Amino acid sequence: MFTKKLSLNNIDTKEWFSYFRKYRVKAGILLSLGCFYFAEPVFYSFLAGIPLLIIGEIIRIWASGHIVKSSSLTVSGPYSFARHPLYIGSLLIGIGFVLICRSIIVIIIFLTYFILFYPATIISEESLLGEKFKDSFKIYRQAVSAFFRKKESWYLPGRYAPFKFTRFIHNKEYKLVILLIIVLALLYIKMKLPAA
């Protein structure tokens, strides 16, 4: 009987989750090509999807102007409302593109990718943060849930730090902005092309 618990205390599980975290972006890019192939965008699907896409990217830009990867525990800006605002933004962007693509196959690809990669990524990242920042992360995790704030009465150094444009540049979020514009342009061109 299989009795080994799914826990990050187990080295095999750690490596497995770390693998998903490491290759999440590359897998997303490859699957996006498949989504583009199966996409059947129309004018109204653009109207439905673009607002979510814009909101998602605004959240990611806000988060990228606060997060200091590896060197400190980020608890300011959107991180005072949710522990994973970047992923919330990514989810909204993904849903936006699913709506634009207007394809059952794209829905299946998106759901499979998100369910497969993101829970493992979040668990892996939180394990690393817990090991590195210990009590500070424990306080933060008790006060702020993964996606919605739990309570108001908490404090950690840096909670009220301002957005910094230099961090937005350093974290290279502008590359995603450019990529989104390119993908939207390609989907628009595909919409305008006559059906084969």
What fold does the segment set 24-192 form as a domain?
Answer: Four Helix Bundle (Hemerythrin (Met), subunit A) (1.20.120)
Nearest Cα neighbor of 179 from 23, 33, 67, 77 is 33
Q: From CA 3, how far away is CA 79, in angstroms rounded?
A: 36
Give the pLDDT confidence of 145-178 residue by residue, as tens digits: 888 766 666 667 777 788 999 999 999 999 999 9
What gap in Å lies between CA 55 and CA 83, rounded to an integer?
A: 18
Per-residue pLDDT tens for 118-154?
A: 888 888 888 889 989 989 999 888 888 888 766 666 6
Q: Is the dihedral of CA 76, 78, 82, 84 positive or negative?
A: negative
